[in-house]
Chains A and B, each alone.
Chain A
Amino acid sequence: MRLVWFAVLLLSVVQLARTPINLDLSGFLPSHAQPTQRLLIDQMRDGVGGRLVLLAISGDTTENRARLSQQLAARMQQGDHFSLVANGAPLPPEQLEWLMQRRYLLTPGLSAQSFSAAGLRQALEADLRLLASPLGGMIQAWLPRDPSGAMLMLLQSLAGQNPPVSQHGVWFSHDGKRALLLAYSQAPGMDARAQERALASIRADFSANLRADDGSVSPAQLQLSGAPVFAADARQQIERAAQRTTGLSVLLVTLILWLAYRAWKPVAYSLIPLLTGLLVGAAAVGAWFGSIHGITLAFGAILIGEAVDYPAYLYTHRSAGETLTTTAWRIRHALRLAMLTTALGALFMLLSDLEGLRQLGLLAAAGAVAAGLTTRWVLPSLDPGVYRLPRLPAWPRPPRWLALLLLAGAMVALVRADLVWDDDLAHLSPTPPAALEQDRLLRGELGAPDTRFLLTFTAPTAEAALALSEQHQPWLESLVRDGTITGYALAAQSLPSQTAQQARRAALPDPATARRDLDLALEGLPFRPGSFAPFLRDIEHSRSLPLIQRTDLDGTPWATRVDALLVPGQGHWIALAPLSGVSQAARLTTAIDQHRAPGVALLDIKGDTETLLRNARKQALLLMLAGIAMIALLLGIGLGSVGTVVRTLLPVLAAMLTSTATLLALGIRLNLFHLISLLLVLGIGMNYALFFQRRAENGEAAQRAGLAVGLCGLTSLAAFSCLALTSIPVLHAIGLTVLLGTLFSLFYAAVWRPDVAPNNPG
């Protein structure tokens, strides 16, 4: 037996060694999705919102903040964590010239009319006024090349509708107290570890610049915000809390086990089935799915935590002078049922839409079976040495009316609860509200899109998608004007469709016409003769310019923007328009409903994700109910009598119902993680009921059964109290649910345990 066990362990280790671990959340998003869901998931995984880091430098003097902003941007640009860093510094001359040369292909809003004598006259008169205004100094240098102001229009279009204010050539907050920057990470938003490295590099770059040449250290501070920061912080917080609670609960469980056995060997051996289960479970997931999600591994470890109970049943059921092999043989039925019911409950998760849940199901099922088999066949061959068990007073039997009353109360609470579910993703995030508010303010100052709303323009080809978005740009402008949004960004602003470029190029007059019309337009105006020769040269040059392709943008800041905002789908392309400053979501959805154009849709990342989560949660509930039905069937076969099945299942179901009712009564609304936790309650409660249900042949056996359940209950309570005490929403939800579930399982199992029976069927 040990040989088989070794072989299985070895195979598992080999399998695990070649199983990659996914650290992103993508496994908890549906894999068979409709195109919009697909897009939603892609956007969540590596869309614009998830990659955008907002930076604010505060403290020190304005000049120093501006200097630090420049130095930080320079360093970040040299590194390879970010594809784009912006701090409001003017474009370098070569990039300005690049734009200048292509302005007649890029700038929207110019037509053949703009280059006619009348159009030019109008532009030149406006130029005179501009020259006389305080803005005159800004345009003077460009005027000879660009009397129609195409470059200014282009720069404004690229800068967005509400660019931040600048001081000393870099972006600042309106109060002037913070220098602002934006960075776009190379790594997708969901890759929390890569994001962590990128953020660490920013912090290092910033501190490296704090020391001035004269040795003084600037008191300036850097604040980071945005989805990557929240993701990295959340991961760290969860990891830290998980480590702390794991450490604490291992300590407590070990202490309790030691107090029970007063010997180290049984304590140490108790871990063998658990570790075997985890190893085999993870390997099974790796073999089936090809990879395993980090989160599956974490939850899986919690889920098969009940496997630590199996050895306790073995060790506590040993009678004086009996070999463990005999004990294992005696409790084999209960152990088998415990193992199979857990496996069955978990296996139903294999039908889930979420790969993460499917993995979790397989891990828990395989793990439970492996742990059960190890307890049955391997543990008895390991000599635990001499240990003695404490004699506990007999379990009190709480009166049935109390249990019925409690159950009835729970039912009432369940029926009356009007708000049972909570699908708000924000409630699962450990990000403090103050940080979210800071993020909102910073986003407003920077005019950066919020992470929630995107407009999508879907068409068969990239070119068609660009053209579609261009076609609706006037409508977007109208949304800005009426205040529904404060701004938007489009790939077409940096890479207009070929059609648009062609039309703009065709609108340029031939040299002779251009000269004639310009002369006509200049008549009577005080411009020095020949002032606009560069303009005529540029027009002529632009007429033969090749159209701008995506590859022409390589090496410019606009490449990143186009790649982020023009994405391929399955058999189609999507141009995305992230929206800024959506103050009322309802107003936006109404505007879009009214616009009703084919290919144009709104992607509400938060709302749509919550819908996905809600569907997953509903499905998980159905699967759980199906699992319970199958377990009842299995118990029917295993236990042979309907009465016993009812007596075994009743405490478990009562415990699950009462725990749920208690959560609701505490004002907690339920999510997917509570459901997963209830699955664990099912497993644990079933074990208690099964071992209590074993008809004890005598008082000694009843005492042992009581001790086994007491020991298992105590360890579960200790471990999950630690989890319930954390402030991380997900961990807290699991801890509290299982804690309550364990308590009520013990209670109901004690109520419905049978009297000492004369014969022993097991």
Chain B
Amino acid sequence: MPSGKSLINVGLRLLGLGLFCASPLLAAADWGLPLLMSGFAAVEESRARFQEEKHLAMLTEPLMLSGTLRYVRPDRIEKHITQPYAESLRIDRDRLEWESQGRTRILSLRSQPQIWALAESLRATLAGDLPALQRHYAVKLQGTRTQWTITLEPRYDSLAQFIEQIRLQGRDNQLREVEIIEASGDRSLMRIEEIPN
């Protein structure tokens, strides 16, 4: 004989079941920057291959680069170019290390605000650090969880003089494409393909 207590139990279970079933729907409805960012924030480390093409006004044809990318939470990014030449770029917090032709140049990101803002577009996204991203850019999200685009537009003049727009595309917590359009008209497009662990 069901007592009052067990009735409540059953009701709660049903309610729980209902909530459980409804959660994907709710998530779909609520999916947005915070959730996307928390997805990125869950990634400790990632590696990827990239192909990049740079279209510069000075050049008659685009520069084509390829190599690997590595990200380690929260603020380390490495970019190793393997083709057409070997070169590597490491960002560790404020420090940028550029190794090219046997020479390493080190520079403080803080002293290069434009490069810093550019690096932040990538680092803050991968870190899932929305406030850091919003410090430099107005952030807009479009699309769905499996096919999204984040559009970044500079929030202050000194950056706007240099960058017009940055577009990041991806699926879930994977970044697939980064396109940077500079104010000068130069642009670069980087395609990224994650290397599973």
Measured CB to CB, the residues of A under 8 A from B are 126, 128-129, 131-138, 140, 143-144, 165-169, 172, 174, 176, 526-528, 531
Q: What are the residues of chain A within 8 A of B148 when measuring CB–CB?
A: none
Contact status B98-A133, CB under 8 Å:
yes
- Residues from chain B with a CB closer than 8 A to the CB of A528 are 57-60
* Given A126-B101, A168-B113: A134 and B59 interface contact (C-beta under 8 Å): no
User: Is B65 on the interface with A (CB-CB < 8 A)?
Assistant: yes
Closest to A126 in B: B101
Question: With A129-B101, A132-B54 in contact, is A526–B59 under 8 Å at CB?
Answer: yes
Instruction: Give the residue of A133, A143, A172, A526 whose beta carbon is less than 8 angstroms from that of B110.
Output: A172
State which of B54, B110, B162 has its C-beta within 8 Å of the C-beta of A131: B54
* B147 adjacent to chain A (CB < 8 Å): no
Most central of B111, B113, B182 by chain A CB within 10 Å: B111
Residues of B within 8 A of A133 (CB): 87, 89, 98, 100
Docked complex Cα distance between A135 and B100 (Å): 12
B63 touches A176 (CB 8 A): no
Verify A132–B63 contact, CB threshold 8 A.
yes
Q: Say whether B115 contacts A527, CB under 8 Å.
A: no
Contact B100 A166 (CB under 8 A): no
Known pairs A129-B101, A131-B54, A527-B59; list 9 more (Cβ under 8 Å): A126-B101, A128-B63, A137-B114, A140-B186, A166-B108, A166-B111, A527-B58, A527-B60, A528-B59
CA–CA, A131 and B63, complex, Å: 9
B56 at the interface (CB under 8 A from A): yes
Minimal beta-carbon separation of B83 from chain A (angstroms): 12
CA distance A679 to B112 in the complex (A): 63
Q: Which residues of B contact A128 (CB under 8 A)?
A: 63
Contact with A along B94-127 (1 / 0, CB 8 A): 1010101100000110111111001100000000
In the complex, the chain B residue whose C-beta lies closest to that of A144 is: B58
Is B30 in the interface zone, CB < 8 Å from A? no
Binary A-proximity of B33-61 (CB < 8 A = 1, otherwise 0):
00000000000000000000010111111
Whole-angstrom distance between the alpha carbons of A528 and B57 in the complex? 8
A129 x B113 contact (CB < 8 A):
no
Whether A134 and B56, one on each chain, are in contact in the complex, defined by CB atoms closer than 8 angstroms, is no
Question: Inside 8 A of B111's CB, which chain A residues have their CB?
Answer: 165-167
Q: A85 vs B119: C-alpha distance in the bound complex, in angstroms? A: 32
Q: How far is the CA of A729 from the CA of B8 in the complex (A)?
A: 86
Closest to A88 in B: B111
A138 to B114, CA, bound (A): 9
Q: Which of B108, B110, B182 contacts A137 (CB 8 A)?
A: B182
Residues of B within 8 A of A (CB): 54, 56-61, 63, 65, 81, 85, 87, 89, 94, 96, 98, 100-101, 107-108, 110-115, 118-119, 162, 182, 184, 186
B63 engages A137 (CB within 8 Å): no
Contact (Cβ within 8 A) A176 B96:
no
Cβ of B5 to closest chain A Cβ, rounded Å: 59
For B101, what are the chain A residues with a Cβ–Cβ distance below 8 Å?
126, 129
Q: Please list 8 pairs of residues, one from A and one from B, whose beta carbons are closer than 8 Å in the complex, sorted by A's number.
A: A129-B101, A135-B107, A136-B56, A140-B58, A169-B113, A526-B61, A527-B59, A527-B60
By the criterion CB–CB under 8 Å, are A129 and B60 in contact?
no
Task: Tell me which residues across on chain A come within 8 A of B81, comparing CB atoms.
Answer: 132
Pairwise interchain contact B184-A134, C-beta atoms closer than 8 A:
no
Distance (whole angstroms) from the CB of A304 to the closest CB of chain B: 60
Chain B residue contacts of A176, Cβ below 8 A:
110
- Using known A-B contacts A129-B87, A129-B101, determine if residue A137 contacts B115 with beta carbons closer than 8 Å: yes
Provide the residues of chain A in CB contact with B57, threshold 8 Å. Answer: 528
How far does the alpha carbon of A531 sit from the alpha carbon of B58 in the complex, in Å?
A: 7
Question: Which residues does chain B contribute within 8 Å of A135, judged by CB atoms?
Answer: 98, 107, 115
Chain A residues near B112 (CB-CB < 8 A): 138, 166
A165 in complex: contacting residue of B98, B110, B118, B182, CB < 8 Å = B110
**Cα distance A169–B159 in the bound complex, in angstroms:** 13
What is the distance, in angstroms, from A168's C-beta to the closest C-beta of chain B? 7
CB distance from B42 to the nearest CB of A (A): 28
* Complex Cα gap A519–B101 (Å): 24
Hey, which chain B residues are within 8 Å of A131, CB to CB? 54, 56, 58-59, 63
In the assembly, what is the distance between CA of A168 and CA of B56, in Å?
A: 27
In the complex, the chain B residue whose C-beta lies closest to that of A141 is B184
Give the complex CA separation of A526 and B112 in angstroms.
Answer: 28
Chain A residues positioned under 8 Å from B107 (CB to CB): 135
Q: Which residue of A lies closest to B81 (CB)?
A: A132
Question: Shortest beta-carbon distance, B147 to chain A, in Å?
Answer: 29
Once the chains bind, are B110 and A134 in contact (CB under 8 Å)?
no
How far in angstroms is the closest Cβ of chain A from B50? 13
Given A167-B113, A168-B113, answer yes or no on A129-B100 (Cβ-Cβ < 8 Å): yes
Check A134 against B58 for contact (C-beta < 8 Å): no
Please report the C-alpha to C-alpha distance between residue A111 and residue B81 in the assembled complex, in whole angstroms.
31
A531 (CB) vs chain B CBs: closest residue: B58
User: In the bound complex, what is the Cα–Cα distance between A351 and B153 (angstroms)?
Assistant: 79
- Report how far A386 CA is from B48 CA in the complex, Å: 107
Residue of B nearest to A172 (CB): B110
On chain A, the residues within 8 Å of B113 by CB distance are 167-169
What is the CB-to-nearest-CB distance from B21 to chain A, in angstroms, rounded to a whole number? Answer: 48
Q: Give CA–CA (A457, B61) in the complex, Å.
A: 52
Give every chain A residue within 8 A of B54 (Cβ-Cβ): 131-132
Q: Kindly list chain B residues whose C-beta atoms are within 8 Å of the C-beta of A143.
A: 58
A173 to chain B, nearest CB (A): 10
Instruction: Contact check, A134 vs B115: say whether CB atoms are below 8 A apart.
Output: yes
Q: Which residue of the partner chain, among A137, A144, A169, A527, contacts B162 with CB atoms under 8 Å?
A: A137
Q: In the complex, which residues of chain A have a beta carbon less than 8 angstroms from the beta carbon of B85?
A: 129
Residues on B with beta carbons closer than 8 Å to the beta carbon of A165: 94, 108, 110-111
Q: With the chains together, A269 CA to B96 CA distance in Å?
A: 78
> A527 CA to B58 CA in the complex, in Å?
6
Output the least CB separation between B151 and chain A (Å).
21
